[in-house]
A and B are shown apart, each in its own frame.
Chain A
Amino acid sequence: MKRHGIFLDGVMIICIACFGLAAGLSAAEEAYPSRPIQIIVPFPPGGVADLVARPFATALEKDLKQPVVVVNKTGAGGAVGMQTAAVAKPDGYTLMVALSSISVMPEVDILFNRPPTYKLEDFAPIALLTADPTILAVRKETPWKTVAEFVADAKRRPNEIKYSSSGVYGTMHVAMELFTHAAGIQLRHIPTAGGGPALTALLGGHVDCSSIGPNVAIPQVKAGALRVLACWGDKRLAALPDIPTLKELGYKDVEFYIWSGFFAPRATAPAAIKILREATRKAVNTPEFKTAMEKMETPIAYLDADDFQKFWDKDAKRLIEGVRNIGKVQ
Chain B
Amino acid sequence: MGDTFHHLLLGFSTALTATNLFYGFVGCFIGTIVGVLPGVGPLAGISMLLPTTFGLDTTSAIILLAGIYYGAMYGGSTTSILMRIPGEAASVVTCIDGYAMAQKGRAGPALAIAAIGSYIAGTLSVVGLMFLAPPLARFALRFGPPEYVSLLVLGLIVLGYMTGGSVIKNLAMIILGLLFGMIGIDQMTGYFRFSYGIVALGDGIGIVPVAVGLFGIAEILATAGQSDRPEVMKPRFRDLIPSRQEFKESWWPIGRGTVLGFLIGIIPGSAHIISTFVSYAVERRISKHPEKFGKGAVEGVAGPESANNAASCGALVPMLALGVPTGGIPAVLLASLMVHGINPGPLFIKEQPVVFWGLVASMYVGNVILLLLNLPLVGLFVNFLRIPYRILYPTILMFCVVGVYAVNSSFVDVGIMSVMGVLGYVLRKFEFETAPVVLGVVLAPIIEVSFRQSLAMSDGRYSIFVQRPVSVIFLASAVAMILLALKPLIWKKSGFRDQLTEAEKSG
Contacts and interface: CB of A to CB of B under 8 A. Distances in A.
B408 interface: yes
Interface in B181-207: 185, 187-192, 197, 199-200, 202-203
Contacts of A225: 345-346
B325 interface: yes
Given A159-B459, A188-B459, A204-B141, A168 B190 contact: yes
Contacts of A51: 335, 338-339
A73 B47 CA distance: 12
B457 A162 contact: yes
A318 B303 CA distance: 54
A200 B141 contact: yes
B325 A196 contact: yes
B294 interface: no
Interface string B429-453: 0000000000000000100010001
Contacts of B347: 219, 222-223
B310 interface: no
Interface stretch (A1-9, A243-251, A299-307): A1-9
Interface range, B side: 35 or more
A224 B334 CA distance: 20
Interface in A272-306: 292, 294-297
Contact of B331 (A1, A46, A58, A188): A46
B346 A74 contact: no
Nearest to A111: B190
B343 interface: yes
B224 A1 contact: yes
Interface stretch (A76-84, A88-96, A261-269, A308-316): A76-84
B410 interface: yes
A296 B341 contact: yes
A189 B456 contact: yes
A145 interface: no
A200 B142 CA distance: 9
A108 B200 contact: no
B269 A197 contact: yes
Nearest to A330: B189
B388 to A, nearest CB: 13
A206 B145 contact: yes
A50 B50 CA distance: 10
Interface in A37-54: 44-47, 50-51, 54
B335 A190 contact: no
A270 interface: no
A328 B273 CA distance: 35
B459 A44 contact: no
A31 interface: no
Contacts of A204: 141-144
B340 interface: yes
Nearest to A108: B190
A153 B195 CA distance: 42
Given A76-B202, A203-B322, A45 B456 contact: no
Contacts of A114: 192
Interface string A41-75: 00011110011001100100000000000111111
B328 interface: yes
Interface in A222-240: 222-225
A21 interface: no
B380 interface: no
A206 B215 CA distance: 38
A297 B339 CA distance: 9
A75 B202 contact: yes
Contacts of B50: 45-46, 54
B335 A80 contact: no
A296 B338 contact: yes
B202 A112 contact: no
Interface string B391-424: 0001001100000000011100000000000000
A329 interface: yes
Interface in B365-406: 394, 397-398
A191 interface: yes
B286 to A, nearest CB: 32
Contact of B335 (A47, A112, A199): A47
Contacts of B338: 51, 215, 295-296
Given A200-B141, A203-B322, A219-B345, A75 B203 contact: yes
A132 B459 CA distance: 33
Contacts of B199: 75-76, 79-80, 83, 117
Given A75-B202, A117-B199, A206-B457, A193 B187 contact: yes
A47 B333 CA distance: 11
A19 to B, nearest CB: 11
A71 B338 CA distance: 20
B34 to A, nearest CB: 14
Contacts of A224: 346
Contacts of B410: 73, 75, 80
B243 to A, nearest CB: 37
Contacts of B189: 168, 328-330
Nearest to B49: A45
Nearest to A192: B453
B172 to A, nearest CB: 28
Contacts of A46: 47, 50, 331-336
A220 B345 contact: yes
B339 A7 contact: no
A219 B409 CA distance: 34
A11 interface: yes
Nearest to A53: B51
A190 B192 CA distance: 19
B313 to A, nearest CB: 18
A206 B144 contact: yes
A218 interface: yes
A54 B333 CA distance: 15
Contact of A193 (B54, B348, B449): B449
Contact of A76 (B185, B325, B331, B459): B185
B409 A73 contact: yes
A330 B455 CA distance: 13
Nearest to A44: B328
A83 B326 CA distance: 29
Interface in A148-169: 159, 162, 167-169
Contact of A45 (B145, B335, B343, B409): B335
Nearest to A79: B199
Given A199-B324, A219-B343, A297-B343, A190 B453 contact: yes
Which of A7, A47, A73, A206 is most buried by chain B, counting CB atoms within 10 A of its CB? A206
Given A76-B199, A295-B341, 15 more contacts: A46-B331, A54-B50, A75-B408, A76-B192, A79-B199, A108-B190, A168-B187, A190-B453, A192-B187, A196-B327, A203-B324, A206-B144, A206-B457, A295-B339, A329-B190
29 contacts: A8-B394, A44-B47, A45-B47, A51-B335, A58-B54, A72-B47, A75-B408, A75-B410, A76-B192, A80-B202, A108-B190, A112-B191, A168-B187, A168-B189, A192-B187, A192-B453, A193-B269, A203-B141, A203-B322, A203-B324, A207-B457, A219-B323, A219-B348, A223-B347, A292-B339, A295-B341, A296-B341, A328-B190, A330-B189
Interface of B: 46-47, 50-51, 54, 141-145, 185, 187-192, 197, 199-200, 202-203, 224-225, 268-269, 318, 322-328, 331-336, 338-341, 343-348, 394, 397-398, 408-410, 445, 449, 453, 456-457, 459
The 10 closest A-B pairs by CB, nearest first: A219-B345, A76-B202, A46-B335, A295-B341, A204-B141, A206-B144, A223-B346, A45-B47, A46-B332, A168-B190
